[in-house]
């Protein structure tokens, strides 16, 4: 079975899923002959950001509805995700991971993860199925995997320290590379935590998906 689940956290780097990372994930999965299904939690976003001005907007948006923009409508409520039906899981980054899937953006080492996200990831882990965490998504690793699981968000010392405090073992990593915990089958790459262009983000994501493919082939 070569079908992978993807969890999106909205639509847009500042308040949802990072669109470039999300599209690159789907592209690189497809290039390896891997099919995928998209999921997102059916909840309100923490807030809404005007991506032109960077200002917060006085409105509400739904994470699932917004993520449907990226998935071209082919997406389901995260509550319906059954890990038994998938070989692996990928979580692209974007501030939505740290604002909607968790509160890492606000509480760092004291953060919590949305229960539906935590449950889904833990089920994949219990079944020894690989999970790829992109960009800021490795902030979830300490909540889900055993203490000492290898992870990377790149080279930012403050964010790395928060990951370490949550129980992961941070490894500095360049944008074009990946960090793999072989025992936990956890893959991470910095993507836009370091990338200055879509091609730079693509380089690490491509390696992450290629490594994911070796786990499920």
pLDDT in tens, 101-114: 999 999 999 999 99
Q: 11, 38, 135, 173: which one is catalytic?
A: 135
- CA 202, 186, 193, 172 torsion-angle sign: negative
Non-local (6+) Cβ contacts of 102 within 8 A are 111, 112, 113, 114, 117, 139, 140, 143
Non-local (6+) Cβ contacts of 214 within 8 A are none
Give the per-residue pLDDT at 107.
Answer: 97
Q: Give residue for tokens 């089958």.
A: 185
Average pLDDT over residues 142-162: 97
Residue pair 9/16 in contact by the 8 Å Cβ criterion: yes
**In the annotation, is 135 catalytic?**
yes
Mean pLDDT (the chain, rounded): 97
Between the alpha carbon of residue 30 and those of residues 81, 115, 143, the distances in Å are: 20, 29, 29
Residue among 137, 111, 121, 139 nearest 185 (CA): 121
Query: Rounded CA gap, 81 and 115, in Å?
Result: 13
- Quote the radius of gyration of the chain (alpha carbons, Å): 15
Domain at 3-216, CATH class? alpha beta
Residue pair 16/66 in contact by the 8 Å Cβ criterion: yes
Residue pair 126/118 in contact by the 8 Å Cβ criterion: no
Query: Rounded CA gap, 5 and 82, in Å?
Result: 9
Residue among 37, 89, 38, 45 nearest 63 (CA): 45
Q: How confident is the model at residue 60 (pLDDT cuts 50, 70, 90)?
A: very high
Instruction: Please measure the distance between the N-terminal and C-terminal CA atoms of the chain and give it in whole angstroms.
Output: 8
Q: How confident is the model at residue 71 (pLDDT cuts 50, 70, 90)?
A: very high
Asked whether the predicted pLDDT for residue 1 surpasses 90, the reply is: no
């Amino acid at each position: 079975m070569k079908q992978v689940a993807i969890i999106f956290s909205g639509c847009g780097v500042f308040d949802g899923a990072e669109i470039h990372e999300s599209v690159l994930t789907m592209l690189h999965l497809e290039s390896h002959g891997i099919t995928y299904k998209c999921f997102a939690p059916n909840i309100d976003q923490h807030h809404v950001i005007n991506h032109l001005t960077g200002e917060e907007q006085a409105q509400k948006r739904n994470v699932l509805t917004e993520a449907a923009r990226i998935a071209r409508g082919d997406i389901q409520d995260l509550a319906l995700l059954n890990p038994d039906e998938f070989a692996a899981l990928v979580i692209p980054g974007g501030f939505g991971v740290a604002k909607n899937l968790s509160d890492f953006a606000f509480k760092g080492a004291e953060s919590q993860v949305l229960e539906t996200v935590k449950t889904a990831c833990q089920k994949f882990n219990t079944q020894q199925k690989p999970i790829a965490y992109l960009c800021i998504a490795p902030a979830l690793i300490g909540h889900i995997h055993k203490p000492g699981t290898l992870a990377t968000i790149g080279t930012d010392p403050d964010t790395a320290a928060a990951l370490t405090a949550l129980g992961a073992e941070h490894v500095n990593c360049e944008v074009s590379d990946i960090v793999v915990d072989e025992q936990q089958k956890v893959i991470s790459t910095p993507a836009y935590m370091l990338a200055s262009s879509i091609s730079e983000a693509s380089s690490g994501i491509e390696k992450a998906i290629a490594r994911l493919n070796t786990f499920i082939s």
